[in-house]
Structure formats: structure tokens, C-alpha cells
Amino acid sequence: MIPKNIPLLVGSVLYLAIASVLPELQPLNIRPIPYQLISLVDGSQVVVRELGLTNAYLPDSEETVPGVELALISCGFPLAVFIVYHFLGRFFIKDSAARRNNESVDIEQVMLRGGDASDEGAAHTDGKYFSSSQWADTFRIVSSFFLGLGTTLLLTDFIKYYVGRLRPNFYDICGFDDETLSCTAEENRQNEGRKSFPSGHSSLSMVGCMYVSLFLMYKMKLAEKPTFVRFSVGLAPASLALWVAASRLVDNWHHPSDVLAGCLIGFSSAYVTFNMFYVEYFERQGNK
């Protein structure tokens, strides 16, 4: 079971690596700096800035969710959940009688039969087969997650570079000078102020946390939990992603539409890749 899933895992890692650098190969859309010159009666002129871009710049170290924490939420957290489930998954199987007799259950067959290990069709096998099945399940979910994460990165960064929307804190982040009517900050910092749409924090946190939510709700069919508890546990990671997205508005890094678009990209990537490369895979296996 493991060798059959290694190519997909390797391919998903390569896809993630390519997706993280490919968008940067395209040129950034440099929009003109918006301002108006208003002439007064005394002959002088006043520079009027666009109101929606005048928010204060908040350094990365002072953000609600800095870059390191975003990486932990969007990638570290899902991988930790998958690994923990890999080693503890057998304890969530509903066939308590099998556990008392030191028997194991083929988790793939359990999943294919709706999550009830007491079905006649649920196979009772030795521990080695259970371990092999668990490895296959873990390889599959990690691979599909990397595909979803890579798709989110690719779409988010490609749109950022293509659109070049100015951030709400653009004047502050670029060091706009009313005398020269130009930016004075370093080029890298100026370019950062032109990547508002869509929100990367929103899309990345959403794809990571939604994967955990979808995974838990799918696996909770095997757990001895009431429906309300299953729903609450499954909803918690998605709520974390919404909090991260909302923090981008509080920190003046994004417009509301940036956050909504980022959440949509992350949610769609998670939903499509989870069902296409994880759920449908086991359904196809069950029909063979």
C-alpha cells in the first residue's frame, strides 16, 4: 500500500514547491499612485490622498498573525492533526469488541462502508494490515492537502501580481512624499503595498483549517460522538481561519473584498482537492 501512494506524495510536494515560486516570475502590475492636486485661491496647491489607502502601516512583528504563525496555522496544524490521527486512529474505531480481543479493523473498508466497523463486510485482520492501511490513508490525506495548499498558493499569488491592488496602508508603507508625489521606501516594500487582492493570510489559513475540518467531519463517522459534538469539533478549525481573515482588516493590511476573495479561494481549493483526491479515491477503491 505504501509504495503505491509515494508517487502521489512526491508529486504533490513538487507541485507545492513550484506553485510557491511560479507566480513571482510574472511582472507585478504597477498601478499609478492615486492623488489629486487642488489649487487654492492663494495659488498654492494641496495634495489630496485617496481616503481608503491612508491607514497606518503595522510591521509584521506587530501583526495579529505574523508570518511564522500563519505557516503554523496553514501547514503545521493540519499536518499535526493528520499525524496524530495516524497513530491514534485505531482508538476511534467503533468496534470496541475487536479492540478488547486485540484484533484490528481494516480502516479503508470501514470508511467505504460508512464508518461502521460492526458491519459484516468490515474486515478483521492482523495489526500489520491495519498499520499498512493507516499508512495508505495518511499518505493520501497529506498528498491531497499539499495539492490543495499548492493550488491556493498558485491562485493567490498569481492574482496578486496580475491585479496589483493597493493596500489600505499603501501611502504609509510606500513612504509617499507630498512634495515629490512619489514613494520613498525601498522597492521591495513598495511592491508589498501593491499585493492587496486577494488576502494571502485568508486563503492560506482557510485551506489549512478547512482541510482539518473536512478531515475531522469525515472521520467522525467512526467516532463515538454525538452529532452536536462532531459538528462543533469539525467547525472549530474553520472558525480559526475566519479569525485570521478578520485580523487582516483590523491590522489595516486588506480591504474587505480582499479577505472575502481569499477565503473563497482557500475554501474552494480545500473542498475540491479533498473530495477529488481523498474521498473519491476510496470510493473508487470500494467499487473495484
Write down the pLDDT at residue 141: 93
Residue numbers annotated as active site: 201, 254
Residue with the bigger pLDDT between 243 and 62: it is 243
Q: For residue 112, what are the contacts with CB-CB under 8 A and spacing of at least 6?
A: 282, 283, 285, 286
Q: What is the DSSP letter of 126?
A: -
pLDDT on residue 114: 39
Q: State the pLDDT at residue 3.
A: 55
**Whether pLDDT at 124 is above 60:** no
Most confident of 106-110, 138-142, 192-196: 192-196
Tell me how far apart the alpha carbons of residues 111 and 137 are, in angstroms, rounded to a whole number.
Answer: 10
Residue 284 neighbours by CB under 8 Å, 6+ apart: none
The answer, yes or no, to whether residue 48 has pLDDT greater than 80, is yes
Work out the end-to-end distance of the chain between its first and last CA atoms, rounded to an integer number of angstroms.
16
* Mean pLDDT computed over 44-73: 92
pLDDT above 90: residue 186: yes
- Residue 4: phi and psi, rounded to 5, are -65, -25
